[in-house]
Structure 1
Amino acid sequence: MEALLNEWLWQERYWLPPGMHWEDMEAKEGPGEGRYPLPRDLFYSLPVAFAFITFRHVFERAIAVPLGKRLGVKDRIRIRAAPVPKLETFYEQNSRQPSQSEVAFLGKQCGLSQTQVLTWFRHRRNQDRPTNTKKFCEASWRFFFYLVAFTAGLGSLLDTPWLWDCTACWHGFPRQHVSDVHSWYYILELGFYLSLLLCVSVDVKRKDFKEQVIHHIATIFLIGFSYCGNYVRVGTLVMLVHDSSDFLLESAKMFHYADWTRTCDSLFVVFALVFLVTRLVVFPFRLIHTTMITFVDFFHPFLGYYIFNILLLVLQALHIFWAYLILRMVYKFAFKGKVERDERSDEESEADEDEQPEDDGGGGERRKGAIKPGPASLANNCVLNNLTNQRSLNSRLPKAR
């Protein structure tokens, strides 16, 4: 296996600039100067990913659930579908949204009218929708990790020259030593995204599910490739830029689920500004520029150069997609006073949902009364809902039970 990997995967022309050899990456220049990154270091990310999954399970139940209750997160009351075995079998094995002919056929089999069959499927779908508590727990876990990762990453990079001057990323490349803190920064980030990919089937499913999976896969390949090719310096900057806005988004989600509208709106505005600046300005014009343009001033392009930049461009395309959603929703709200539909709601969201909120005692920042257009109701008008899995603004008022 090792010989096969050396022959097909670890060829020097794939990973290193012309004239460089793997032996050069194994040379030591003295004690206390760090070491070169080795591909085998990344195997630590596998147990780290499973450790994250275990810790997340404990975190959500021991910290996130009690925190949600203190903030006032309420789960909506949903009408449970009556037990009808034939309909349940069709729901599980065929489709959650039967066609008109299938509704008529099922109605004849079960002795129900078409309206009753449609109502049963609506109630059954709503049973599978994630509760506010589940979504709050997911947002809390991601907020915790992104905040810790951004704080620790920024602290480890403050005294590095490449944080302030991107050309320093290529001084001595690829024979650049990596410190233990940056090596573990890589392993923890890779382990976290592996855990997200492993849990993607049980997490809240959004309409941009495919984009999220592509993002996770591209990030995993980017982290792994950049570490093996010793693009660690620019890689730490890429991770720092991403974490800088992610924890703001997750905190806005948390307050959204708790109906703290003013706090949610304020955090969303800050997130939108940070996201647009970091993902549409800093990332392309500083980081991608240094990997595509500045790099050529030091070395001739090789295969690894093209692979690395293609992965960065995939991430940038996703940034543009999400920025477009944000800007379009803000535009609709600012110039039309409303948002016509939810761009990133749950995949199972429906306009005829029959869930009802529990009785809410209210509060200084809690939502009250009808939704009104205005600067203080951004979240209620689905500007934040595009990033927090809520239903469309045009959904009907809850039915009387």
Structure 2
Amino acid sequence: MEYDRDPSYVQLVTDIAEKFTEYSASLTADDLTISSITKTVLIHWNFSTADVIFPLIAALLIFALKQIIQVILNAIDLTNFKPVDAKKLPESVFQLIIYSGLWILETKIVLDNDFLVSPSKTFHNWSEKREEPMPTDAYWLYITVIGFYIQALVCCILVDERRKDTHVMILHHIATLFLVVFSFGMRFWAIGCLVLFCHDICDIFLDISKLFLYFQNRIVCSKPTWYICEIAKSISFALFVLSWVWFRFNLYPRKAIYGAAYHSMVQIDGGPPVYPFYSFLLMTIQVMHIYWFIFIFKLLLKILTGEKMRDTRENEEVENSEKKTD
């Protein structure tokens, strides 16, 4: 097993800047035109009819799973839950199942291919491998992820109740779909699997924390159960914060971003197609991580000072209803 050196953050910035400078120096004015960029993408684009149909089927199956979970939980007596929590419970259970399944598969792919210890392998022999069929596990991971975000986008627009962050979530789903579909079509599947691996684990701990919060907030909750939920909720939220710091602030930039922006230039003569565009997208995600973590950190401070944890994504009407119920 070969190990790539893990750069310091300073070395990461320095190395990437060097490769960007090297790539820019090789460009001509014609390379920067829209027609030239479009032509480059179309030359390397690899998307069959099956690649369109399978994600749509996956979206329907995932939506069906969501409805089944809803039916099962609705069959259970949830009158002891606060109305707003009873509405959100199925969504958290659904997301916990989906993200757990995806991350298990992502972990298998990343470890089987040594992408975590050797990110340079994500672009090794890419020019030859892009013409070959994707590995089965990676292919179906992409199909499932695309299907999941298709159903998430449709549900967010047409099915789900409007929340304070609905428009933000719509933009998030569109951006995620674009990035995943783009990496799929360009056959950047290896670096894509590494990117997904660095993200989905955080959502697992977040949804676990939410579930314990809903159980703790029940109208009738014994003291022992309340304290158990309090401890479990706090541990889950702490793991969410720690996983965010470790996976999104450590592994993501030093493995995924470095792999895409530095190793790709080393592994591919002249760099991968649309190199600056794809690298910029991944770096933009890191900026979003920092932005979101500011809110997470503020929430963490509130919890440490004894303020009650709550899910703040309800719309104002639901919040007012909850206050009247209390």
Give the alignment's TM-score, normalised by structure 2.
Answer: 0.74
| Matched pairs, number | 274
Structure 1 residue 256 corresponds to structure 2 residue 213: yes
Matched, 1:132 2:85: yes
For 1:1-400, list aligned pairs within 5 A: 12-14=39-41, 38-43=47-52, 44-62=54-72, 64-65=73-74, 69=78, 74-76=81-83, 131-176=84-129, 177=132, 178-201=134-157, 202-203=159-160, 205-259=162-216, 260-298=229-267, 299-301=269-271, 304-334=274-304, 336-338=305-307, 344-348=312-316, 350=319, 354-356=323-325, 398=326
Q: Which AA in structure 2 matches 1:251?
A: I
Q: Secondary structure of the residue that 1:74 maps to in structure 2?
A: coil
CA distance in 2 between counterparts of 1:344 and 1:41 reads 40
Separation in 2, partners of 1:256, 1:57:
23
Q: What is the distance in 2 between the residues matched to 1:49 and 1:195?
A: 5
Q: Distance in 2 between matches of 1:346 and 1:292?
A: 39
Could you tell me whether the CA contact under 8 Å between 1:68 and 1:258 is conserved in 2? no
Moved more, 272-281 or 187-196: 272-281
Q: Which amino acid aligns with 1:214?
A: L
Compare the two structures and name the one with the higher helix fraction: 2
> Residue type matched to 2:51 in 1?
L
Q: Which residue of 1 aligns with 2:29?
A: none
* Percent of aligned pairs with the same amino acid: 22
How far, CA to CA, are the matches of 1:228 and 1:327 in structure 2?
36
- Consecutive unaligned residues of structure 1, counting only runs of 5 or more, are 1-7, 16-20, 26-36, 77-130, 357-397
Instruction: Note if contact 2:210-2:311 (Cα within 8 Å) is conserved in structure 1.
Output: no
Q: Is the 8 A contact 1:211 1:318 kept in 2?
A: no
Change over 3 Å in CA distance of 1:248–1:343 after alignment to 2? closer
- In 2, the alpha carbon distance for the partners of 1:38 and 1:324 equals 38
Contact preservation (8 Å) 1:253, 1:264: yes
Point out the structure with max Rg over C-alpha: 1
- Structure 2 gaps of 5+ residues are 1-34, 217-228
Q: How many angstroms apart in 1 are the aligned matches of 2:279 and 2:171?
A: 16
Q: Supply the distance in 2 between the matched residues of 1:49 and 1:311 (Cα, whole angstroms).
A: 25
For residues 161-206 of structure 1, what are the alpha-carbon distances to aligned partners after superposition, in whole Å with 9 as ceiling and x for unaligned?
Answer: 3232100111101322421121111000110011100101333544
> Structure 1 173/331 Cα, relative in aligned 2: closer, same or farther at 3 Å?
same
Residues in 1 aligned to 2:77 and 2:278: alpha-carbon distance in whole angstroms: 41
Distance in 1 separating the partners of 2:286 and 2:312: 19
Amino acid at match of 1:188: T
Greater relative CO, 1 or 2 (CA 8 Å, sep 6+): 2
Give, in whole Å, the separation in 2 of the partners of 1:55 and 1:352. 29
User: What TM-score do you get using the length of structure 1 for normalisation?
Assistant: 0.61
